Amino acid sequence: MKIYDFLIIGAGSAGCNIAHYLQKNGKKIAVIDKEGIAGGGSGAAGAFLSPLPGKENPYNSFVNSALMYSLKFYEEFAPQALNKRGVLRVANNNFESEKLQSNSIKSRYLNTKELQEISQNFTQIDGYFYENAAILNPNEICKKLIEKCDFYKEDVSELIFEDGFYIFENFKAKTVILAQGVIKPLVQTPYIEISPIFGVKIDVKTTTKVPFNIHKSISISTNKSDGTVAIGATKERHDTAKMECITSCDKCAFYVNSEQGQIETLLREADELIKLENLEVVKIYRGARATIKSYFPVIGKVVNFNESLKKYPSIKNGTKIPPNLLEYYPNLYIINALGSRGFVLAPYLAKILGENILNDTPMPKELSSEKLFYKTARKN
């Protein structure tokens, strides 16, 4: 039976990045996923690496710090998988012109005339251009991240911890990290309420040269290495609905029952930004991404909710019990809720979580599982 230092459950952007970080630091790593490497939401992601505009606040500061770290990481780690040509942000309902104009990130305003001088295929739009933006090949990057780890395409239905190890059929691991996205976690974490955000992406052939990524309510990529252009969007949020993903995206009613309409919407909205000539849809991707109401991701030790409240029932009344006194599942961590910015956040989060695990480096409170635990316990 093989023995690993860490088993990572989930081979999307989060799982592959934390696996790479720990392996690079001398740990023996196994990664397991029932759908394969980047087989879920990460493989279906547009993998756009873009800044978050607006006046500075804790969330966009976090996202933009992660972006700068991750761009540098990908440029050094897999330059062939990265296409860095910047992004044009066009005003929409979420980011009106005033918000884009007064944001804290360096940008350059391009009016309609200037854009049409760059490409006659641009329509009557204007926007703000950000140099530090790119697009990745998600499947290529995930495979490269774990090429020095052992990968198992299997389904894990339960966690069994005995004599200091998590025991599985063919191997055992000292520590497990849950990076399962929208899939129901293997232990009870009622303080982490995951809501799936459904996305659709298409790759299209076109004779049009798209000079840089474009983002409005949808995202259009510059021409990738194979010449295709990606068009993608988050199509529906279920922030208030308690939904559980129990099947693959190819069988999900959300996609199967409305696929053609979603594709037509993507193409229509793309046509309102730039004319893609001789267009042919060559591939369709579907995926659900995990998010929580705060929008911040969550990383850290997995708190045993029931046992912690049983030990300290006064937490419900607001008593401040230090995190180190809480009850935790043994040797169990989580990295989840990266939302639609998985490839922006994952390398940065892997560094934070990895340093916490290996060196006991404190992590930012807004990312910690403990913060969500206290909030839920007191609300209950």
Q: Would you give per-residue pLDDT tens digits along the chain (380 residues)? A: 899 999 999 999 999 999 999 999 999 999 999 999 998 888 777 789 999 988 889 999 999 999 999 999 999 999 999 999 999 999 987 777 777 777 778 899 999 999 999 999 999 999 999 999 999 999 999 999 999 999 999 999 999 999 999 999 989 999 999 999 998 889 999 999 998 888 889 999 999 999 999 999 999 999 998 899 999 987 554 444 455 665 566 666 666 666 678 899 999 999 999 999 999 999 998 888 899 988 899 999 999 999 999 999 999 998 989 999 999 999 999 999 999 899 999 999 999 999 999 999 999 999 999 999 999 999 86
* Residue 79: strand, helix, or coil: helix
Backbone angles phi, psi at 140, to 5 degrees: -65, -45
pTM: 0.93
How many whole angstroms separate alpha carbon 244 and alpha carbon 369?
A: 20
How many whole angstroms separate alpha carbon 336 and alpha carbon 297?
A: 6
CATH of domain 2-41+140-193+294-379: 3.50.50.60
How many whole angstroms separate alpha carbon 19 and alpha carbon 2?
A: 17
Tokens 């069988």 identify what position?
251
Nearest to 285 by CA among 244, 243, 252: 252
Domain with CATH 3.50.50.60 in the chain: 2-41+140-193+294-379
How many beta carbons lie within 10 A of that of residue 277, not counting itself?
A: 10
Q: Does domain 48-136+195-291 fall into CATH 2.30.290.10?
A: no
- The set of residues, in sequence order, having a beta carbon less than 8 Å from that of 375 and lying 6+ positions away, is 191
CA dist 96 to 50, 66, 99, 103, Å? Answer: 17, 24, 5, 11
Domain with CATH 3.30.9.10 in the chain: 48-136+195-291
